[in-house]
Chain A
C-alpha cells in the first residue's frame, strides 16, 4: 500500500514537472536532484520489507563466546558476593565508636568497625594475643637454643683446655702393662 502511494506521488510529480517544463523554463527554485548511489538509475520498490541480504562479515562467534563466558564466570561468584555485601551494609551496618565502659574488657573482634571484618576476626583469624604469644614462644625457643650452643662451645673449650671433664678423653693403654725394668740390650 505504501508502495502504491509512492508510485502515485511519483507519477503526479512527473506530470507536474512535464507541465511546468512546457509552461516555462524560468523557475525561482531549481528542483533538487535526488541523492543517488553511484551506478544506480532508480530505487527498487519491493512489496515487502526489502530484499533479504546475506551480509558477509568476519565471524564474531569467538569474540561473543569469550565475552559470554567471561561474564558468566565473573558473575557466578561476583553476584552472590555483591548481594551479600550489599545486604550486610544496608541491614546490619557498621559499628559505632564508643568509650570502653568501666570494668568491661572487649573481645578482640570488637575493635573492628565493619561487620564483615568483625566476622573474619572472630571466626577465621586467631586472636592477636595468640599470635603475639606464639611469636614470643618462637623467639624464646630460638634464644634458648642460641644460649645452649654458646654454652656447649664454652664447655668444650674449657674441657679441652683443662682436661678434667668427661669430654676430650682419649683412651690410653694401662700403665701397668709397661715394663720399666732395665733391659739387656738398648733396643728393646
Chain B
C-alpha cells in the first residue's frame, strides 16, 4: 500500500520566516498547483513562467554594406518568457506557514483548483481550501507516483542510481535507456505496493505486502520505545542484528554447505529473542527489524520481477527516501535473492514523484509531456544525504526545504539516430563522482576560474550599472554549488566536467548573464572573416593531399582559440601578443580562428567534392562557442564572398541546424529532434565532432553506427597528463564501426 498514514502529529511551526528569494520562487506567475502530503513531508508543485534575458543576434541589412561595415551583426539582450516547474519539499510542520506565504505572494487569480495526493491530503484538505481558497481535487496516489516516475526517467538523465555502500562512490548513476518501459515500481510506504508499468498510460498493481515502512515504524516503536522513524533508523545503524537473529551458523555451527547458505545468513529473524530471561538492546532489535523487513520486501520484489520477467526494479516511498541504510539493505536483499541478476534501482527525485504526477494530471492542457524538460542546476538543491556524519554540508534536517526546478526546453530532445547502442551511451569521458583526484582537480579549476568568469560577465554588460551586484550574486551561488559538490559529488547525478560547466551556465542565466562572450565572439568572428578568403586561396594552391592535412591542422588550430580553456587564457592574459601567430606556430600551420578559418574551409572542401554537409551548432550560448543564430549570419557573410558555400546553401547541400544544446559539451542522447530528423533523412554516414568539450570531455568513447572523426587539441595540462600526452597535443580519432571497413581510413588517419 502506498498510503502513508499521518501519525504523531507535530505541532505546527509558525516561527520560521521564509526567504522569498530562495523558496517558492516565481510565485507571482504561478498556476496549476499540486500538493503531495506524506507521513512527514509535504511536496508542493507549481507551474510558473520565468522572464529572463537572452542574447539574440540579428544581421544588418547588407545591401547598405558601407554603413554597417564596422559591425558584423547586432547583439541585443531581450527578455524571453520560459516555463518552469517548481517542486518544493518541506516538513509537514511548516505546512501552515507555507500556505500563508503562498497566499500572500500569489497574484494569479485564474487558479481555482489544487491537485492533491498522498495520505495526508485528506487530513489537510480543509486547511488548504481555507488558506488558499482553492478547491482540493484528490488524485489516486499510485497513478500519480507512476506518472511522476515516467516523467523524471524521461527528462532527467542520471535520475536512477544503484547504491553501493562500500564503493568509492556510493551512488552509481545509470544511463537511461531511451525506452524506459517496462519496469517494476516498488513503493514502500507504510505498506508495500508493487506496480508493473508498461507504457505511459498502462500500469497495473500486481501485488504488494503489508510488511513495509509502517511495520518498521510501528513494531520498532513498540520494541524500542523510540517514536520517530529517523531515530529508529539511527538506532538500527548502530546495532548488531546477530544478537537477536538466529543465523545459519547458530543452527549449523557453520555454513549449510549443501545448499550454499553461508553461516552469517539469517535463518530466523528474532529467533534468539524467543526467551523471557534476556534483555536485548534497542539498537540490536532495530537493526534486526530493518533486516527482516528489507529482506522480505526484496524477496517479494524479486519474485514479482521473475514472474513478470522484468529486470528494471525501482524502489521508492518513505522507507527509502534517500536513507543510505535502507537503500543498502534493500540492495543487499535484491542481490541475494536474484544472485545479482536484478539490480535495485533508486531515484534521485523519488520524494517528488507523487507531487510531479499530481501536477501533471492537473496540467494536461499545457501538454507537459509534449516537451522536453531539463533540471535547472541553479535552482535545484540536489540529492541530499540524510547521514550528517558522512556529509558535513548537510543542513539540519528540520527546517530543510529541498527544491527541484525544471525548465521547459524550447526544443524536444531525442537520441542521435546514429548512436550504436543508445541504452549504454555515456556522454561523459570521466565520471568525477568515482574519480577522486580528477574531481579534486576540476573543482579547484572551476573555483579558480570563477574570478575571471565574474569579470567577464560584468564586462559583457557595460551599460548596466547593477551588473556588478548580480555578478557577485552569481559568484556566491556558483561557489556554494562547488562547495556542495565537494562533499556531495552525487548531488546532481554523476559529477562531470560537463555538469560543472552546465551548472555555471545555469547560474549565469539565473542572474541574467545570458551570453558573457557575445562581444568577444563578435570581435573574433570579425577578424576571422577578414582572413577567410586568404586562407581559402592558400589552401587551393596546395596539392590535394597537402590540402587535406592543412584543413585538419586548420580545424585544430582554430580549436586552440577557446577562451574558456585555462591554459590558453593564462597565456593570453600574461602575453597579449600571443594569439593567432602563436597558435599557428604550435601547430605549424597557417589557419584561422575556430569556425570561420577552421571549420568553414573544411566544409568548403567537402562541398567541392560533392559531399552534403549538415552543420550543427548550439541552440543557446555557452562560453565562446558559436550559436546557431550567429552561424546563420556568418555563413551568409561567407556565402557572399565564396561561391562554393553560396551554391551549397542554395542547392540545399549545406544545411545549418541547431543541436538543442546550450552547453560547451554535447550529450548525443539529448539532441534537437529536428537535427535527428535531418540526420536520418540525409542518411548521414560521417560524423565529425570537434573541440575539447564535445570530443574529449564528452563523446571520446561514444561509438556510432557510421564513420566518425573526433578532433581536438588538449588545452589543459592536467588532462594532457591524464591522457599521457603533452599540453596542446592533438586528438584525431577516426573510427569505423565494426564490420564496415572504409577505404578512406588510410587517407584521413595521420
Q: Do A and B bind each other?
A: no
